[in-house]
Structure 1
Amino acid sequence: MEESMVLRMKRLRPGAEPPQRQTAGSAGFDLKACMEEPVTLKPGDRSTFCTGWAVEIPEGCVGLVFCRSGLGAKHGVSLPNCVGVIDSDYRGELQVPLVNLSREPYTVAPGERIAQLVVAPVCLPVVEEVEELTQTARGEGGFGSTGK
């Protein structure tokens, strides 16, 4: 990847806090909830949270939105779709769906870090239909076929 790659961002809502990497080694930019009042997710509830930002993912890359590990491990709050995909041609607001998988209510506060955005290169191969695929030692072995 180029050192000079730029992630262009447009503020869409007043008070929206910019996504940031928390340390020099952080792979992702923390996304924060942009809202006026706290929102409580009861067990099993889902809600979508605005971030107040639109981004321009560099061409040849994809934006991947992941759950923050602390929310998932400590509170049982996760993304219902596991990983969000932000295509390089999308220009709308970044929004984060959250689901409360725990047995306790969880309140999302304005400005709270709710997810992380990782920008990664994407491979775009040409699709070719074939009669046979190259043979491998694993072959068609599926779930659990490589060991315990």
Structure 2
Amino acid sequence: MKVRIKTSHQKDITYKTEGACAFDFRSSEDITFAPKEWKLIETGTVVETPKGYMLMIAPRSSTFKNYGLMMVNSVGIIDQDYSGDNDTIKFAYINMRDESVEIKAGERIGQGMFVKIEKPEIEIVTSMNNADRGGFGTTGNE
């Protein structure tokens, strides 16, 4: 996999332990969130996702605990062809606290994980020919 790092705040992209399945991204700039404000945090990093994979980005487990920030779209799906020289990875966060939050350049603000994908053929039909299940907590209810 190729990685282009366009900032001095992201030294490398590595799995930090043998058992790690994700790698960290760092903020490329100082950024302040007002209460309940959302912003994009720029990483200054471009990732060329290997063929047959997608890059999934998500918050680190400590992001909400330390900063009160939640990713506005829960996870990010980065397509394989988003890898131009200026296609940097960005994280969309909202400040859930009642006070301002500051992120310093170089702070770890999210993580990335490669997920193998399959692309089955899509067929449009008029009926699924299956029983309706209900969804949203109905499994196991009589």
TM-score range, shorter chain: 0.7 to 0.9
What are the equivalent positions in structure 2 for 1:1-148 lying under 5 Å apart? 7-35=1-29, 38-91=30-83, 92-135=87-130, 139-147=132-140
Gaps of 5+ in 1: 1-6
| 1:39 aligned partner, one-letter code | I
Q: Deviations over 1:75-129 (max 9, x none)?
A: 3212111111111111111112221112232210110000000111112111112
> Quick one: distance in 2 between partners of 1:27 and 1:55?
16
Gaps of 5+ in 2: none
Number of aligned positions between the proteins:
138
Q: What TM-score comes out, normalization by structure 2 length?
A: 0.86
CA RMSD in angstroms comes to: 1.9
Deviation at 1:47, TM superposition (A): 1.6
| 1:23 aligned partner, one-letter code | T
- Residue 44 of structure 2 aligns to a residue whose secondary structure is strand
- Percent of counterpart pairs with the same letter? 28
Deviation at 1:16, TM superposition (A): 3.2
> Quick one: distance in 2 between partners of 1:71 and 1:133?
41
- Residue 9 of structure 1 aligns to a residue whose secondary structure is strand
Taking structure 1 as reference, are residues 102 and 20 closer, same or farther at Cα in structure 2, changes over 3 Å only?
A: farther
